Structure 1
Amino acid sequence: MKVLALLLASLAAVSAQTEPWCRCAAFVTYEHSEIMVFEAPEVTIDSCTDDAKQCKNSCTKELNDFSNNGNLWLVQENGLTVGQNICTYMADHFFYFIHNHRVYGYFEVCGGAWEYTGVASQQLLCCNGGKHEHCISK
């Protein structure tokens, strides 16, 4: 009887899962951590087990479209650069200074590990007090 109850509970948990999904985000890499600096809207995919390529391709397109292939100085519809949008997002989370860091695009399938899309910023990112600035070499 207990086995039957466990089996039914497992079946209910599996059937309660939502549709397969894919997350796309940009990160700045530090020596011991990764910091998310941008997240695109979720992408619906067909399968959590078979569609990593679909997720990667969708995220690559999304991140490249957002930044014109990694251009942090692209002025977006809101009148701010991609870099300024990132610096503003970071300042809103009490992270005011970023100096000489590349921004990298990643994708995540159904809650799995983040994987690199191959997308990277053309320029290094520098935020000074939440303001996007041109980077000066170290």
Structure 2
Amino acid sequence: MKLAIVLLALVAAVSAQQNEAWCRCGAFITSDDVETMVYEFPEIPLTSCEEHNKCKNKCVTEINEFSHYGDMWEITPEGKTVGQFICETLTGLSYDFVHNHYVYGYYEVCGGPWEYTGQASTNMLCCDDGFQEHCIE
């Protein structure tokens, strides 16, 4: 009997997780035909997996607030530039040197495909061994 109750509780927990809706926002760079996530924002809860516009709009707002509309040199509350956050992330992904890349905003609803928010950084990102540098074109 106890085993049956435990199994029912487990099934209920899994079913509840499958019914939860969420939105993910991320910043990506493109290189060699590969999109690489360079920053992920906190997950946004949704009431339904059909709320694509709500997800997109919230991601646009998150990205704009974090980067002051795509400025890689914007200082964050932690005292680092947006670009420095990204350069540190890239070093952890074995991208030690990144030169002249724009950063693009994307969103994902309930594990579906990543979709472009229409946002791109206003200036390019350049990283040298984990440190943001001014780009030279």
- TM-score (structure 1 length as normaliser): 0.85
> What letter is aligned with 1:133?
E
Helix, strand or coil for the counterpart of 2:80? coil
Partner residue, 1:66 = 66
Separation of aligned partners in 2, 1:30 and 1:136: 18
> Runs in 1 of length 4+ with deviation above 4 angstroms?
11-16
> Matched residues, percent identical?
50
Asked if 1:102 is matched to 2:102, the reply is yes
Partner residue, 1:111 = 111
Number of residue pairs the alignment of both structures matches: 126
Return the offset for 1:92: 2.4
Separation of aligned partners in 2, 1:103 and 1:64: 12
- When the two chains are superposed, the root-mean-square deviation of aligned CA atoms in Å is 1.6
Partner residue, 1:43 = 44
Asked if 1:20 is matched to 2:8, the reply is no
Helix, strand or coil for the counterpart of 2:64? helix
Separation of aligned partners in 2, 1:33 and 1:15: 34
Q: Which ranges of structure 2 fall in alignment gaps of 5 or more residues?
A: 1-10
- TM-score (structure 2 length as normaliser): 0.86
Partner residue, 1:32 = 33
Partner residue, 1:93 = 93
Alignment of 1:69-80 (within 5 A): 69-80=69-80
Q: Sort the Cα spacing of 1:133 and 1:45 in 2 relative to 1 into closer, same or farther, 3 A.
A: same
Q: Which ranges of structure 1 fall in alignment gaps of 5 or more residues?
A: 1-10
Q: Sort the Cα spacing of 1:38 and 1:16 in 2 relative to 1 into closer, same or farther, 3 A.
A: closer
Separation of aligned partners in 2, 1:16 and 1:65: 30
